Structure 1
């Protein structure tokens, strides 16, 4: 069975782009995904990274939802330790009110950034941040209740107070738990929530193949799942990095800028905006890093349309999912219109055409 396809977007920033260009390119990509019939379009949360403009999922979601017609739009995800739960609840309840039935709220427990930026987001020291992480299950319950039409009762100074994310909610966004460890799988199963393992993070020098980590997390989630009021059976999907072009050679070229960017991230090298394909091809890779580069590349879907479609179908069958979320990571050639991302657009088109 051919799985449904969705999109994950980090709003990448190339060396030839401003932040405005990167957002314009992502809005264009979202419209194409909507027209092609993709199921959902999720925006990530990352901070203080020169090559990523996805710093504020709720703002980006409002832009994307307003620029599209039918596709579900959500966060992949909001990093809860960075934000007051009521603020997140209000943001997404308002988004759901504006675009009913189209909003997903994917949340994670990691800060998604460096310690200094994490402190700047919450003005918390390490001990306070650790306490927020420890309280994550209760925060998750409160967040879900705040967005529900009935709201939540909060006990303060011996008195109970009603708290609603919006004054008159007609529906609530769909809550998903995201993670790259067993912790999130266990918690999602316990809470009866849909769950996504960050398969696109996996692979490359951690001593465990991406397949082993993903399979173990999904198996744990399914085995321990407890039905809830909102979900009767386990629900999950797979995330993959993909570059698809008319030929394998062109796909390989378009994948190189992002592979080199991820290599910098993995090896602690200074981060920069994404290179052009031509600049990436002129960039030497240390022999000591060749193995890591190839390990990452082997976990991505890079190739022509026939290969990519089969690979996605095989992965869906291997992990027992009926949906695959594609992170289109193709770079761009020199001279590309800065407000567009042709390689990313072509990846989406060739996967369904």
Structure 2
């Protein structure tokens, strides 16, 4: 089994963004040393509990000092960005890190509708329109923007039609030693179907929804059409894995306690309550967790990996068998205790170490 890591760069208590980033820098070093396959960072905006907003920039920092682990986005939310801007960021990463870069692309905005509009440069009543004045929805243009990104990352670049039948060639710069490997991400059937139609690798966000995984993966596998994309590795058969929330500790009781801060945050997200910085393990989160929070948390736990190393390994093996995957991307969500240093994440680090001890040798 291959194990990888997804990081949202969580922010807790009175922790600063700089301290959260420092903690993640330590975490990627641990993952690299232990033999994890990939380390991906997400894109979310306007959330106090998440510091990961710009994967391309973060990876340039987080990758320093790593030797073998693949670095990637999980993912870049393409409707928020111009394809050329994304292609150039990841071309730069590839120029620095060579053939160790993954470009995971998502269709969701990763934020609320107002912030989403602000990401596209339109606040208040501003709207994106075409040259005839018709409103444009970047989400509806997602398939074309994926194709544009692939073209911009290819050696030939993209052909831009010009007046008089001429064309202008446009490619991502600086020159890459190897193009990033492009993946599509999703938590529904839409991206599964698009990935299959384009012949691209696909990742299901099982850590986020926990439902519909089997249907989405089956849709992808049954609809997959091999398609060559210049600069991309050949994908002759469906290629996929899934993500899962995980907390591993020496005892199941400790693992459950460490899981509570993130359980509280996810419950708030489900009910539309404000998302604050992550509470601390123990009295801090206990004071905030209502009976409703706990009821939601119990339901969510059924799709998480929580327990001792042996229990977690068994749960992961069951998950890989059930969904027929040979790689799982762990989202380590262990919370912090009041005494934990602000620039370290002992619970998350321990989750990676314990899982590696059981499954990576």
Q: Deviations over 1:89-125 (max 9, x none)?
A: 0010111111111000000111111111111111245
Does the 8 Å CA contact 2:268/2:293 hold for their aligned counterparts?
A: no
Aligned residue in 1 for 2:170:
163
Cα deviation digits, residues 218-258 of structure 1 (max 9, x gap) = 00000000012231111000110000000001001100011
1:228 aligns with 2:227: yes
1:347 to 342, 347, 351: 351
* Superposed counterparts of 1:173-192, under 5 Å: 173-192=180-199
Residue 84 of structure 1: aligned partner: 82
2:142 paired with 1:136: yes
Q: Which of 158, 161, 165 lines up with 1:152 in the alignment? A: 158
Which residue number in structure 1 is paired with residue 61 of structure 2? 63
> 1:168-207, CA deviations, whole angstroms, 9 ceiling, x for partnerless residues?
334210000001111100000000000001111124xxxx
Q: Is the 8 A contact 2:264 2:285 kept in 1?
A: no
Q: Provide the residue aligned with 2:249 in structure 1.
A: 245
Q: Aligned partners of 1:184 and 1:252: how far apart in 2?
A: 33
- In 1, Cα distance between the equivalents of 2:17 and 2:88? 26
Distance (whole Å) between structure 2 residues aligned to residue 48 and residue 300 of structure 1:
25
Higher helix share: 1
Q: Residue 311 in 1 paired to residue 315 in 2?
A: yes
| Unpaired runs of at least 5, structure 1 | 204-209
Is this contact kept in 2: 1:148–1:171, CA < 8 A?
no
Structure 1 segment 1-353 matched on structure 2, within 5 A: 3-124=1-122, 125=126, 131-158=137-164, 159-166=166-173, 168-203=175-210, 210=211, 213-229=212-228, 230-353=234-357
- Number of residue pairs aligned between Structure 1 and Structure 2: 343
CA RMSD of aligned residues (A): 1.5
1:264-304 per-residue CA deviation (whole Å, 9 max, x = no partner) reads: 11111121111110234432543344432211122111100
Over 3 Å counting, the alpha-carbon distance change for 1:171 and 1:316 in structure 2 is same
Deviation at 1:157, TM superposition (A): 3.3
Q: 1: distance between equivalents of 2:294 and 2:63?
A: 40
SS at match of 2:306: strand
CA distance in 1, matches of 2:289, 2:102: 39
Residue 67 (structure 1) shift: 2.9
- Three-state SS of the structure 2 residue aligned to 1:161 is strand
After TM superposition, the structure 1 stretch with the greater mean CA deviation from structure 2, 61-70 or 325-334, is: 61-70
Relative to 1, partners in 2 of residues 1:154 and 1:31: Cα closer, same or farther, differing over 3 Å?
same
Per-residue deviation, residues 294-340 of structure 1 (Å, max 9, x unmatched): 11122111100000011111101110101000000000111211000
Counterpart-to-counterpart distance in 2, 1:58 and 1:140: 17
Q: Give the TM-score normalised by structure 2.
A: 0.92
Contact 1:149 1:170 in 2 (8 A): no
In 1, Cα distance between equivalents of 2:121 and 2:324: 42
Instruction: Using structure 1 for the length normalisation, give the TM-score.
Output: 0.94
1:207 maps to what in 2? none
